[in-house]
Amino acid sequence: MSIQVKLSDIVEGMESQSDEMPSYLNTKTGEIVFVTGEELSVAEEGEGLGGSTEWGQESLEKAREILYSDEYVALPSQWDIHEYRIMERFCLSRDDEGISETLYRSIKGRGAFRMFKSAIHRLNIVEDWYRFRDEAFRRMAMDWCEAKKIEYLDDRKPGEEDRKPQLLPRRVIYESPWVNLSVDKVRFPDGGVVEQHPLLDFGKEEVGVRVENEREEILLIQAYRYATDTIEWGIPAGGVGKGESLLDAAKRETLDETGYEMDKVWLTYTYNPMIGISNKVFHIVKGRASRRAGDFDRNEVKAVAWRSADEILAMIGEKRIKDGLSLTALVLHLAEDS
């Protein structure tokens, strides 16, 4: 081999590829390239891309090089990587038997990846998982290079996995029980300094509730939204009170906003909607409506309605649902059924 390949480039290539767009290493230059399966098929058939642009022709030429040159080697595919097995090993690696069992249960059955992500957030071990995953990818890249007799450079610096941006002075602009705004001075691991990094600090996490009935319809509410001065459809949602569990908050918000009580309630997803400038956390809870216990809060809610998956899909297509928390929960619901 005439060049030493950076291990970080191999790992990035493995992570960035997809089933439709595999990645390849040019063993002469160390470059990682991506081409689509369609481009490879067209190149193999010896045809041109009909009406293709210059960019398309360049991609086709690259596909031909990959097929007919000895310089290119395919990186481990998603099938070779088998991220489910990495998750499984992580579950079994936990010292705490209770955590290990909870994690292991989360990956058994439908929606394993989604349930696993919810579990690691709930157990507050997200960073542990990504350190474990990064090391698994790095070790796999090393083994692949050695098997292919490719000389590589392990360019990870000592302690790099623990390096984080450092907070310098913080200037608080606004404080309230709901949200705080500050401007931070931050030093990043490479030594660069951002003089004014905005940060929105939310005191409460929020829960959105995907309520289903025996017909597998979803319960929506229609409410006036002050910030946008619009009347919008969405799912029941609200803040989690101090000392209140997520599931209790979900039950309370559902009862207040729809009049329905729920049973069989569980957390399905947790995410950050504005992760670049905010620590806002949204949780999505799923529950089964058990009975109508009363009327909904008409001061806050205009209407309550059950909608089928097809009706919800149509509403999204017509842009009649614009709330981010509701869209995330409903799209995840539609993805489960697809």
List, for residues 53-78, the tens digit of each pLDDT value: 444 566 778 788 888 888 898 999 88
* 281-318 pLDDT per residue, tens: 999 999 999 999 888 888 889 999 999 999 999 999 99
Mean confidence (pLDDT) of the chain: 86
CA 181 to chain centre: 25
**Whole-prediction pTM:** 0.54
Q: Would you say 293 and 255 are in contact if contact means Cβ atoms under 8 Å apart?
A: yes
* Beta strands 179-187; 193-202: pairing state: antiparallel
Domains of the chain (ranges plus CATH)? 18-74 (no CATH), 79-160 (no CATH), 164-200 (no CATH), 206-337 (3.90.79.10)
What's residue 53's pLDDT? 43
Rounded Cα distance between 288 and 334, Å, is: 17
Query: Nearest-5° angle of CA 113, CA 117, CA 118?
Result: 120
Report pLDDT for 159.
58
φ and ψ at 222, to 5 degrees?
A: -115, 125
Q: pLDDT tens digit string along 190-239?
A: 677 889 999 999 878 999 999 999 999 999 999 999 999 999 999 999 99
- What tens digit of pLDDT does each residue of 6-55 get? 888 999 889 888 877 888 999 888 888 888 777 777 777 765 544 444 44
pLDDT digits (tens, 9 = 90+) for 67-121: 888 889 899 988 888 888 899 989 988 888 889 889 988 998 888 888 998 889 8
What stretch of H or E contains 135?
A: helix 126-147
Residue 63, class by beta-carbon neighbours within 10 Å (0-12 exposed, 13-18 middle, 19+ buried)? Answer: buried
Element containing residue 304 per DSSP (H, E): strand 301-307
Q: Are strands 152-153 and 218-225 parallel, antiparallel or unpaired?
A: unpaired
